[in-house]
Amino acid sequence: DLLGQARALLTYAGEVEGAGRDEDALAYRRDEREFVNLQLVELPNGDFGVTTARQLVFACYQYELYDRLRESSDPTLAAIAGKAVKEVAYHRDHVTQWVLRLGDGTDESHRRMQAGLEEVWPYVEEIFEPDELTASLATEGVAVDPAVLRGSWAAYVEPLISKATLSVPEPGFHGRGGRKGIHTEAMGFLLAEMQHL
């Protein structure tokens, strides 16, 4: 699902850019600083608790984003979002079941799920910070200001964490800069593997 969404978005980005780059050129033939993404998606899979926590945070964000993008003034983005929101709803439901199962399971599964949340939570704040381009496109009705997604995201995520007998972490730092091309150490390794293949 995510690859299909990425392909559709990258193909459209290449068309809008008008420089002759296709989805492969945009995905595989850019330097690290040319990628403007959330640092959250760069984190290594690691423990299943970490992977599950990252999936929870990201799937719930994507659901809110695509749900709002269905109203985009750009018909292509609205169509991509219309299909994607259905796919992401499944991802959100799937990860919800895992969070509940792990959080309210054994002592070990609870510990690992809480540790996963602790590792991922420093990257949550960046999700809701707008950048100049997104803010401009949101004003035109093309994009969504990520700050407006926080309330509905939290209304789903925080009660779920509580129901799973887990706690919302209080991070000691906040990852920032991914949308400006500033990445975690993991990004270089991801690109090296992706671009090598």
pLDDT tens profile 117-170: 999 999 999 999 988 889 999 999 999 999 999 999 999 999 999 999 999 999
Whether this prediction's pTM lies above 0.75 is answered by yes
Give the C-alpha separation, 138 to 142, whole Å.
Answer: 6
Q: What is residue 197's predicted lDDT score, i.e. its pLDDT?
A: 66
Q: What is residue 3's predicted lDDT score, i.e. its pLDDT?
A: 87
**Helix residue spans in 18-131 (DSSP H):** 23-28, 48-69, 75-103, 107-120, 124-127
pLDDT band at 196 (very low <50, low <70, confident <90, very high): confident
- To the nearest 10°, the Cα dihedral for 51, 58, 66, 190? -70
71 is written with which tokens? Answer: 């109203």
Of 62, 150, 166, 186, nearest to 118 by C-alpha is 166
pLDDT tens, residue by residue, 17-29: 999 999 989 888 8
Give the C-alpha separation, 92 to 118, whole Å.
Answer: 19
Identify the burial level of 21 via C-beta atoms within 10 angstroms of its C-beta, where 0-12 means exposed, 13-18 middle and 19 or more buried: middle
> What's the Cα-to-Cα distance from 54 to each of 25, 76, 172, 193, rounded to whole Å?
27, 28, 18, 21
pLDDT tens, residue by residue, 19-78: 999 998 988 888 888 888 999 999 988 899 999 999 999 999 999 999 999 999 999 999
Of 157, 149, 196, 114, nearest to 38 by C-alpha is 149
Give the C-alpha separation, 146 to 61, whole Å.
Answer: 9
Q: What is residue 116's predicted lDDT score, i.e. its pLDDT?
A: 97
- The residue ranking higher by pLDDT, 6 or 196, is 6
